[in-house]
Structure 1
Amino acid sequence: MDIQKILVPTDFSACAQHALTKAVDLAERFDATLHVLHVVDELDPEFYGIDDAQKKATQIRARIREEAQDRLNHMVPDGESIEIDTAVSVHLSFDVAATIHDYIEENGIDLVVMGTHGHRNIERLMLGNVADKLVRHARCPVITVNEEVPWIEGEKGRIVEEVLAPVDFSEHSKQAVRVAKEFADVYGATLHLLFVAEKRTVPTFSDTGLPGVGVVEMDEEIVANADKALRQLSDSVGGPDVPITTAVKHGRVAESVIDYAETEGTQLIVMATRGLSGVERFLLGSNTERIVRVAQCPVLTMLTEKTEEAKA
């Protein structure tokens, strides 16, 4: 995976600072350029009025460059350097996500690292707004960092020993496994492949036409062969040779992934935003969104390429 440009959208909140810490480490490992972007929402009365937007922009740009570079200098070990590109975008709309998305496209960003919470007088959960839109639509992978994560400063905060990739055997999850192997290799980590045998509640109709619900359990043969299939999948997607651990769990997908990640001490979860279904299913709003919100570690989500399987 070729990562040359990493973007951190920031408002310098505590959550954004966590994301910056993660991004600096990744920029160092991938030898990438780090872009720090602050977008001023000019229609937000908590920021600046429209009339003096351009005048304030110059001041904000200088503050961001100075503050970002100062923080980076403190985070990067002596004798090492990270190239940084800072930018301020001033626009007259509420659509901060669109500005970030345009920056991604215009600058060929390969990876976005951002916090899930924003900086406001009343704490705002950005997921469902900015972060949600980027996870849904950004052409590159997005790593979200939760403000509630107990953050470890210093060298220990840079260690990633366990990477988790939930798998449903769709083409989308196969693409995610390949990316997960790349990140596991960069960190020298073990890759955990997890398959969740989920019971699904589906609508039913009686002979009289009255609606009801039923529970569909996954075929026992599929579950029994899942462990072997996970290892075969890892071999089939190629990529670097990394230590692999497989696991099969029963339950709901989001809860099982979160529980497994916490039990195994996972430091990074890698997953696709599309999953397996008779028709293409966009998981955000259910499994992916819940995992991004609750997981006690950064989560890398990726908008995988559409395949013939997904179009079926």
Structure 2
Amino acid sequence: MLQSYKNILVPIDGSYESELAFKKAINVAKRNGEDTALHLVHVVDTRAFQNISSFDTTMVEQVTETAKKTLSGYADEAKKAGIKNVDFSVEYGAPKVIIAKDIPDEKKIDLIMIGATGLNAVERILIGSVTEYVTRTAECDVLVVRTDLENKPALTKDLIKANRREGL
């Protein structure tokens, strides 16, 4: 018997890998039946704003509005692909805990589909990988997306070299 997933969480951070996770999540949701729900989330890491001396709430509002527009576009794309039950939210706090624990508990998530990376190398060293934390601590299944829609490596050698030159 095949595993059936009914509530799929896809964290969206604007990275190429999170977009691939979203596109693959559409396919997984379609295979699991029309009652499968797709939950999209963007987490605004409030710790990033704590270090700004002239903290202005308009910055958070701008980030929130951009995230809402992006998520709304993704939700529309999922609906056009035939997913009937799609929702999205913008959350505030520590992305690791919100993605691995809070939302899965609240929405009864049984699968998290997350991009392999989203931060640059320096940020991963300093604050750790959200993906790594989610795979280690989430109580539901986690699928880490590393390949494109044709199951070829998402990051080609040329892209990796370009990222290294840019310090990513």
SS in 1 for 2:19: helix
The one-letter amino acid paired with 2:37 is T
Matches within 5 A, 1:148-227: 149=147, 151-152=148-149, 157=150
**2:72 paired residue number:** 66
**1:9 paired residue number:** 11
Once the two structures are superposed, residues 167-199 of structure 1 have per-residue CA deviations (whole angstroms, 9 ceiling, x without a partner) of xxxxxxxxxxxxxxxxxxxxxxxxxxxxxxxxx
Distance in 2, matches of 1:63 and 1:144, equals 25
Once the two structures are superposed, residues 246-266 of structure 1 have per-residue CA deviations (whole angstroms, 9 ceiling, x without a partner) of xxxxxxxxxxxxxxxxxxxxx
Residue 75 (structure 2) pairs with residue 97 (structure 1) = no
SS in 2 for 1:11: coil
Distance in 2, matches of 1:5 and 1:88, equals 18
1:35 to 39, 51, 57: 39
Distance in 1, matches of 2:60 and 2:123, equals 26
Bigger Rg, structure 1 or 2: 1
Distance 1:119 1:141, change over 3 A: same
Once the two structures are superposed, residues 115-162 of structure 1 have per-residue CA deviations (whole angstroms, 9 ceiling, x without a partner) of 011055x68659x5211111111010000012xx3x24xxxx4xxxxx
Distance in 2, matches of 1:7 and 1:104, equals 8
The one-letter amino acid paired with 2:40 is V
Structure with bigger strand share is 1
Distance 1:104 1:144, change over 3 A: same
SS in 1 for 2:103: helix
The one-letter amino acid paired with 1:142 is V
- Structure 1: give runs of 5+ residues left out of the alignment: 158-266, 268-294, 298-312
**2:61 paired residue number:** 55
How many residues are paired up? 144
**2:129 paired residue number:** 129
Distance 1:59 1:137, change over 3 A: same
The one-letter amino acid paired with 1:97 is K
TM-score normalised over the length of structure 2: 0.70
Decide whether the 8 Å contact of 2:117 with 2:129 is kept in 1. Answer: no
Distance in 2, matches of 1:136 and 1:115, equals 15
Distance in 1, matches of 2:37 and 2:55, equals 32
The one-letter amino acid paired with 1:3 is Y
Residue 26 (structure 2) pairs with residue 20 (structure 1) = no
The one-letter amino acid paired with 2:68 is A
SS in 1 for 2:13: coil
Cα deviation, residue 56, structure 1 = 3.6
Decide whether the 8 Å contact of 1:11 with 1:119 is kept in 2. Answer: no
Distance 1:30 1:125, change over 3 A: farther
**1:111 paired residue number:** 111
- Structure 2: give runs of 5+ residues left out of the alignment: 155-168
TM-score normalised over the length of structure 1: 0.40
Decide whether the 8 Å contact of 2:7 with 2:111 is kept in 1. Answer: yes
Distance in 2, matches of 1:296 and 1:65, equals 25
Structure with the bigger RCO (C-alpha within 8 Å, sep 6+) is 2
Once the two structures are superposed, residues 4-58 of structure 1 have per-residue CA deviations (whole angstroms, 9 ceiling, x without a partner) of 100001112111111111111011111210001100112225xx98541653465
Cα deviation, residue 105, structure 1 = 1.1
**2:163 paired residue number:** none
Distance 1:119 1:130, change over 3 A: closer
Cα deviation, residue 64, structure 1 = 2.9
**1:87 paired residue number:** 89
The one-letter amino acid paired with 2:30 is E
Distance in 1, matches of 2:111 and 2:55, equals 31
Cα deviation, residue 89, structure 1 = 0.5
Decide whether the 8 Å contact of 2:29 with 2:83 is kept in 1. Answer: no
Return structure 1 stretches of 4+ with deviation > 6 angstroms: none
